[in-house]
Structure 1
Amino acid sequence: MIRHPFRTPFIGVALAVALAACSERKTQDPPASVAPSTAPAPAPAAPEASITPAGSQVIGGDGSPVLLSALTAADLAANALPGELGCAFQAGGPDPLLVAKGFVGSKDPARGLVKVTDYVEPIAAARGFDGMVKGAKFSGQGKTVVIAITGPAAGGGESPPYPATLTYHRADGAKHVVKGTWTCGP
């Protein structure tokens, strides 16, 4: 038997390519014991409303996002706040990102709520209602929330909204800044 010098390597390469093609095909085919599904694939979940409002940014931390959500009427009903007057921070939507209430002339802290993703979390600020009117620093477990007024009131009346920022400081160093309005009153 006479062997051609190019034939043996060619057969070896062709065999390797054929085996590789078979191996790839086997990893792509479903197992024979599994019947193909005729049910339609589930639709992707709708994005959460009011999370990370326009004009917001997240800085620092471990890289995980700080997702603030709007407080719903059900959240507020389930977490009643003591106080005679209140303040709210809104960022463009109908529901607030932060709500707080306190008593006028009180040294007791004002109590508030902020919602991070789906969890309503309590916060508090010094000096009752009077301590919140011109902005406030709220504290809670693993967080500090600062409301800073950034300009004159937009309109008149007893409770005009002020342009403001809400800065959420997480214990790991993450900082989330949101632009909106701060309104205090009855």
Structure 2
Amino acid sequence: MNRIYAPLGVLALALAACAPDPSPEPTDPATSAAGPEIPEGTFLLSPLSAAEIEAANLPQELGCAFETGDDILLAAKAYVGENQRGLGVMKINGFTEAVQTPHTGGFGTMSDRGEFEGRGLTVDVEPSGDNLAEMEGSRYDAQMTVTRVGADDQVIDGIWSCGP
């Protein structure tokens, strides 16, 4: 019996060696489904569209946004309450990424200073100066630092606005 199985095993190995590689051919990174080609050590932040913010299913409560000009780079919302966390969304390398506050404290804590975490990502929005809001809410000059694993930090000046 051993004589029958040994030749079949050798035949199976020979056929497997001649079979085509089951892994797909590599594609051009600039046109692949993985998004745009980004140089190593960097990442690309892009403005969020209203549809992308809506699709993020953020809490229907009070919110904050980090803006540069007319562009929103971070949108976040949180319920009021000491045991609540803020949830947000950003667009990195062409894809929306969910972020959340690493601590509880609800909207009040989030609006004072926006600290967020995501997959291999930390975001720190540090407001400065006087409140520029003319009505309800807050609007501060701010600096957003985005740290991503394996990439250089990005520091961006903008406006941190929070309110209803």
State the match for 1:138 in structure 2.
116
Of 31, 52, 56 in structure 2, the residue corresponding to residue 75 of structure 1 is 52
**How far 1:184 sits from its partner (Å)?**
0.6
Is 1:120 the equivalent of 2:96? yes
After the TM superposition, which of the residue ranges 128-137 and 141-150 deviates more from structure 2?
Answer: 128-137
| Aligned residue identity for 2:122 | T
Q: Equivalents in 2 of 1:74, 1:155: separation in Å?
A: 26
CA RMSD of the aligned region, Å? 1.6
Deviations 1:141-169 (A, max 9, x none): 10000000121112432123100011100
Structure 2: 5+ residue stretches without partners: 1-38
State the match for 1:98 in structure 2.
74
Q: TM-score, normalised by structure 2?
A: 0.70
| Aligned residue identity for 2:148 | R
Choose between structure 1 and 2: higher strand proportion.
Answer: 2
Q: Equivalents in 2 of 1:173, 1:150: separation in Å?
A: 26
Structure 1: 5+ residue stretches without partners: 1-61
Q: Is the 8 A contact 1:115 1:121 kept in 2?
A: yes
Structure with greater Cα Rg: 1
State how 1:25-174 maps to structure 2 within 5 Å.
63-93=40-70, 95-125=71-101, 126=103, 127-172=105-150, 174=152
Q: Equivalents in 2 of 1:63, 1:80: separation in Å?
A: 31
Q: Equivalents in 1 of 2:66, 2:108: separation in Å?
A: 16
Q: TM-score, normalised by structure 1?
A: 0.62
**How far 1:89 sits from its partner (Å)?**
0.5
Q: Is the 8 A contact 1:83 1:110 kept in 2?
A: no
**How far 1:173 sits from its partner (Å)?**
5.0
**How far 1:85 sits from its partner (Å)?**
0.4
Report the identity percentage.
Answer: 37
Q: Equivalents in 1 of 2:107, 2:133: separation in Å?
A: 21
Deviations 1:59-84 (A, max 9, x none): xxx95322110110111122110141
Q: Equivalents in 1 of 2:120, 2:79: separation in Å?
A: 25
